[in-house]
Amino acid sequence: MMTASSTSLMQRVCAVPLARAARTRAMAAASMNLSTTTSTTTTTAPSLAKRADPQVLLGLSEPELQQLAIDFSQQGYRGKQLHHLIYKRKIKDIQDFNQVPLAFRNELEEAGWKVGRSPIYQSVTAADGTVKLLIKLEDNRLIETVGIPVKDEKGVMRLTACVSSQVGCPLRCSFCATGKGGFSRNLKRHEIVEQVLAIEEIFNHRVTNVVFMGMGEPMMNLKAVLEAHQCLNKDIQIGQRMITISTVGVPNTIKKLASHKLQSTLAVSLHAPNQKLRETIVPSAKAYPLSALMRDCRDYFTETGRRVSFEYALLAGVNDAVDHAVELAEVLHEWGRGSHVNLIPFNPIEGSEYKRPSKKAVQAFAAALENNKVTVSTRQTRGLDADAACGQLRNKFQKSPLPVDSDNLQTDEDAPVAVVC
């Protein structure tokens, strides 16, 4: 959301030569991957002033940044410099681009451009090193992102960023704190990408894996998720196979995702082996029958060659019986091959009627799947000494936008944290 009035922004824009403003507007449209072509002959400076959002550098590719530099009568290599400053040095303010001429910096700001980075509002750290951040967006909304460090036997660290795709979530799964906090809006491309950069800064380490398993339903914001995916892959250079997109299931979206033929993993949050039980856990399942969801997963595997990972949150006494595991195996075999089940023992949240299953129950469920020839893994619980599971830390601080003057960084290195995903 713009912080200045439309009138003041128009005054700043009109200070830039009209032709340059028109070219800049066209570049902004291209960078947002608009489906229609914007003509510079019909775009004027006032139309730029009326834009609901300012132009954001974060999320633009190197060729796009080079073109932007050229549109400002700069040499193309200035775009390469911008790319390095944004993605490698992670600089957050245009005026701190010291390698770039001051006049160019001023012109970018006068035309409404900004980097697109947000401040960290809260940072909490678990005993196992997992870090949860609350990031304060420009409209004073808060989103969660989590950094999960894991060292292998050789001491090499894998750092996973668990990112949000929406402010809140409209699907209201019964066990999820995010849904209890309500839904505000979709995140924009740069608001997704900046979560990964924030995790890299906190850990002073490169993010190796990204999972879209934070706040929100990625498939309900698929355009921005795909744009962010491209930036993470091409500009931050995280391999596609190191990226996972999770969904509880939204009609027609798995087919759309398959058409892009990504090498990333699709993770479907199943949580039940039959339609009746699934509807009690995932209310949105009423509009997307299990049979239709499984058919789309089968078609996804056929089209992409990538096996689907099924997420299954184990809730004590609800869906964690051996009979449930056998029924789940039958469903997976019925709808084809190429699947994998990831068991997630429930992380308790305040006010929830659900409980975490015993270790014995988790092991018995996994063994039943394996005995029925289903590949299974059990997710290692991180940050169980937590203030909250997914969405609960945000709910503690916000169910409506923060006051305008609430922009102080708050940190607590000893506070507990739970993983979003």
Active-site amino acid positions: 144, 390
| Pairing of the two strands 209-212 and 157-162 | parallel
Residue 390, token pair as written in the block? 């997914």
Q: In which residue are the tokens 């990625």 written?
A: 218
Contact 58, 116 (CB under 8 A): yes
Helix axes 222-234, 189-203, angle to 10 degrees: 40
Q: Can you tell me the distance from the alpha carbon of 101 to that of 50, in angstroms, rounded to the nearest whole number?
A: 28
What's the chain look like in SS3? CCCCCHHHHHHHHHCCCHHHHHHHHHHHHHHCCCCCCCCCCCCCHHHHHCCCCCEECCCCCHHHHHHHHHHCCCCCHHHHHHHHHHHCCCCCCHHHCCCCCHHHHHHHHHCCEECCCCCEEEEEECCCCCEEEEEECCCCCEEEEEEEEEECCCCCEEEEEECCCEEECCCCCCCCHHHHCCEEEECCHHHHHHHHHHHHHHHCCCCCEEEECCCCCHHHHHHHHHHHHHHHHHCCCCCHHHEEEEECCCCCHHHHHHHCCCCCEEEEECCCCCHHHHHHHCHHHHHCCHHHHHHHHHHHHHHHCCCEEEEEEECCCCCCCHHHHHHHHHHHHHCCCCEEEEEEECCCCCCCCCCCCCHHHHHHHHHHHHHCCCCEEECCCCCCCCCCCCCHHHHHHCCCCCCCCCCCCEEECCCCCCCCC
Q: Can you tell me the distance from the alpha carbon of 311 to that of 341, in angstroms, rounded to the nearest whole number?
A: 6
Q: Can you tell me the distance from the alpha carbon of 237 to that of 86, in angstroms, rounded to the nearest whole number?
A: 13
Q: Can you tell me the distance from the alpha carbon of 403 to that of 284, in angstroms, rounded to the nearest whole number?
A: 33
Residue 222, token pair as written in the block? 């698929």
Contact 173, 205 (CB under 8 A): no
